[in-house]
Amino acid sequence: MVAPMNRFRTKCQSILTNHLRYCLTRELSTYRVLNKGVVLGVYQPKNKNEDLILDKATQFYNDKTGGKVGQLLKVAGKDLKKGGCRILYDVVPGFDSVAVCCIGKQGTSYNENECYDEGLENIRAAVAAGVRNLRSVGENDVMVDPCGNAEAAAEGSYLGLYEYDELKDKEKRKKTVKLSCLTEHLSGSSSVQKVWSQGQIKADGQNWARKLMEMPSNKLTPRLFVEEVQRKFNNRPNVTVTVRDKAWIQSENMNAFLAVSQGSSEEPYFLHIEYKHPDSNMSSPVAIVGKGITFDTGGISIKPSAGMDLMRADMGGAACTVGSVYSLDRLNSPVHVHAFIPLCENMPGGRAIKPGDVVTARNGKTIQIDNTDAEGRLILADALNYCESIKPQLILDMATLTGAIDVALGSGAAGAYATSTNTWEMLQKAGSTTGDRLWRMPLFNHYTKQVTVSQLADVNNIGAHARSGGSCTAAAFLKEFVTNKNWVHLDIAGVMSNKDEVPYLNKGMAGRPTRTVVEFVQLLGKSQS
Ligand code: BES
Ligand code: ZN
Ligand code: ZN
């Protein structure tokens, strides 16, 4: 009886000592002000019940600690699934904690059914889980295992930590975390560092778009949007920002744009941003056009109040446009891009447009405005027509245009309407790399017929069968204002916000598909060099 009692006592003592040591470490770490953490990657075992497979960096630290990492993972790593993460304390010298994150099966690459590089998506998701967990245990200086692709690791890290909480009490805000790329296990590190910073720049562009989309409409009116953009591009030698006011918009006969803006007491603006690299490969520029409705009430065809707050993000096209230009500039991409952004509110004021009103667009076509909530296509009609003045090789527009695209595709992909199959293929390739996918939609004459019937005018703004194929009729409407042979329209209403679908984005506005557009413009540039 004595022996088992002693064994029991020893066991209890050992548990208690371990617990005390753990508490002390946590306690000390708050005083040590080290607050350093490291994210390390592991692959799923090939067969069930086998050990996790350590990646290069994890193996390096395992060797350095005499096999301690692997040992701890035998228990702590049980049932660790792809995208999951476990925190280990006091294992690797120099770090308070280690987040071991699971990057799925080794050798994962392009997945034909998913139409994306699954290996890269796995890295983004796993690393995001790692950095978030380290932040939640108080680390503020985190090194990240590049997990075989430093760009994806940087994207996952920076996108995963982003949250718009600057309007909250300081206490409630997420603490800032300094992120850097772990390279101690590599012989040459400078190229990996460079790839990491490219991923960071791409994530920064998307995070800026997320911020602009999330900002409440009283803090981001058309005027304030312009100021944010001016501030961001101030002192960038390859970027020129031109701000056009209402008088200029009038002088350009952008009456469809003006019609939408007239129900609000906020002045409309038209932003023109040029990014031209001195060594651009492009013989003619790319035009990017973004819908910039800073709030969409629906106007006189007013929206129901439930969920209307989300319409602060109805400038998502504009946000992703400036986010893309930001990334291209910081990446020092040898391309030439012009961005065009009509900015206004859609409000039901005393001077607002009313259903049945007719306006003459910049290209001379008359539009019967049957529904004032189909305003995006009105402001884009004039912007698309104006952008042709720079003779672009290609026009790409982005707009949170229809609820119908959300019904069709949800947040799986943005709808892409392309006049050129070559261009579509390049877009699809871009999306498969970034994981922020696009899906091709039809530009059939079938839909054009529905928008070119109108009692009073050349075109109507909702289509004859308003409820059916709503995203397709909206695209067909826009097509009436484009003459360029190479045009792509992205309906991004379905990918506007994130609940939990994209694991490396928090809940909130998504800034999609900024990285895909950046990738696409870069691919286009490379194809011309
Ligand atoms: N901004 C909305 C589209 C939207 C809906 C964006 C949901 C994001 C989430 C757009 O201006 C709109 O209201 N479209 C109408 C068009 C209809 C009146 C033909 C729509 O989709 O209901
Ligand atoms: Zn609307
Ligand atoms: Zn809208």
| Separation between Cα atoms, residue 356 and residue 311, nearest integer Å | 24
User: What confidence category does residue 48 fall into, taking pLDDT thresholds of 50, 70 and 90?
Assistant: confident
- Indicate whether 28 pLDDT > 70: no
User: What confidence category does residue 165 fall into, taking pLDDT thresholds of 50, 70 and 90?
Assistant: very high
Ligand 3 being an ion, which residues bring their Cβ within 5 A of it? 293, 296, 314, 376
User: Is the CB of 470 within 6 Å of ligand 1?
Assistant: yes
- Which one-letter amino acid corresponds to residue 76? A
For 349-367, letters b (16+ CB in 10 Å) and e give: eeebbeeebbbebbbebeb
Pocket test of ligand 1: the residue of 260, 401, 461 to mutate, having most ligand atoms within 8 Å of its CB, is 401
Q: Which residue reads 């020129």 in tokens?
A: 240
Average pLDDT, the chain: 95
Summarised one tens digit per residue, pLDDT across range 410-441 is 999 999 999 999 999 999 999 999 999 999 99
Q: How far is the CA of 375 from the centre of ligand 3 (A)?
A: 6
User: Is the CB of 411 within 6 Å of ligand 1?
Assistant: no
User: Is the CB of 118 within 6 Å of ligand 1?
Assistant: no
Phi, psi (deg, nearest 5) at residue 36 = -100, 135
Residue 86 confidence (pLDDT): 98
User: Is the CB of 139 within 6 Å of ligand 1?
Assistant: no
| Separation between Cα atoms, residue 157 and residue 160, nearest integer Å | 5
Helix (H, G, I), strand (E, B) or coil at 117: strand
Q: How far is the CA of 404 from the centre of ligand 1 (A)?
A: 8
Name which of 281, 253, 525, 509 is nearest 386 in CA terms. 253
Summarised one tens digit per residue, pLDDT across range 93-125 is 999 999 999 999 999 999 999 999 999 999 999
**Helices 421-434/514-527 angle, 10° precision:** 130
Q: How far is the CA of 189 from the centre of ligand 1 (A)?
A: 48
User: Is the CB of 403 within 6 Å of ligand 1?
Assistant: yes
Summarised one tens digit per residue, pLDDT across range 310-334 is 999 999 999 999 999 999 999 999 9
377 part of the active site: yes
Residue 30 confidence (pLDDT): 46
- pLDDT (mean) for 242-253: 98
User: Is the CB of 376 within 6 Å of ligand 1?
Assistant: yes
Q: What is the pTM of this model?
A: 0.94
9 part of the active site: no
Phi, psi (deg, nearest 5) at residue 240 = -120, 125
User: What confidence category does residue 10 fall into, taking pLDDT thresholds of 50, 70 and 90?
Assistant: low
Name which of 23, 66, 60, 51 is nearest 143 in CA terms. 60
| Separation between Cα atoms, residue 384 and residue 481, nearest integer Å | 7
Residue 29 confidence (pLDDT): 47
Residue 189 confidence (pLDDT): 82
User: Is the CB of 493 within 6 Å of ligand 1?
Assistant: yes
Q: Which of 142-151, 295-304, 460-469 shows the lowest mean pLDDT across its residues?
A: 460-469
Residue 11 confidence (pLDDT): 53
Closest ligand 1 atom to the C-alpha of 376? Answer: 11
Residue 22 confidence (pLDDT): 52
| Structure token pair of residue 56 | 């290069």
Contact call for residues 514 and 211 (beta carbons, < 8 A): no
Residue 49 confidence (pLDDT): 87
Residue 126 confidence (pLDDT): 98
Residue 170 confidence (pLDDT): 96
Pocket test of ligand 1: the residue of 347, 368, 373, 378 to mutate, having most ligand atoms within 8 Å of its CB, is 373
SS (H, E, C) 314-335: CCHHHHHHHHHHHHHHHCCCCC
Residue nearest to atom 19 of ligand 1 (CA): 462
Residue 31 confidence (pLDDT): 45
Residue 276 confidence (pLDDT): 98
| Separation between Cα atoms, residue 270 and residue 223, nearest integer Å | 10
pLDDT over 70 percentage in the chain = 94
| Structure token pair of residue 38 | 């490291």
Q: Which one of the listed residues 26, 105, 303, 330 is annotated catalytic?
A: 303
User: Is the CB of 375 within 6 Å of ligand 1?
Assistant: yes
User: What confidence category does residue 7 fall into, taking pLDDT thresholds of 50, 70 and 90?
Assistant: low
User: What confidence category does residue 89 fall into, taking pLDDT thresholds of 50, 70 and 90?
Assistant: very high
**Residue 393, exposed/middle/buried by CB under 10 A (0-12, 13-18, 19+)?**
middle
Strands (DSSP E) along 410-495, which ranges?
A: 414-418, 438-440, 459-460, 487-491
Summarised one tens digit per residue, pLDDT across range 360-412 is 999 999 999 999 999 999 999 999 999 999 999 999 999 999 999 999 999 99
Ligand nearest to the CA of 461: 1
What's 92's DSSP letter? S
Residue 26 confidence (pLDDT): 53
User: What structural domains does the chain harbor?
Assistant: 2-187 (3.40.220.10), 204-527 (3.40.630.10)
Q: Which one of the listed residues 132, 291, 377, 479 is annotated catalytic?
A: 377
- Indicate whether 456 pLDDT > 70: yes
Name which of 282, 478, 328 is nearest 396 in CA terms. 478
User: What confidence category does residue 168 fall into, taking pLDDT thresholds of 50, 70 and 90?
Assistant: very high
Q: Which residue reads 């490291």 in tokens?
A: 38
- Indicate whether 39 pLDDT > 70: yes
Q: How far is the CA of 464 from the centre of ligand 2 (A)?
A: 17
Q: How far is the CA of 403 from the centre of ligand 1 (A)?
A: 5
Residue 3 confidence (pLDDT): 57
CA 428 to centroid of chain Cα atoms = 16
Contact call for residues 236 and 358 (beta carbons, < 8 A): no
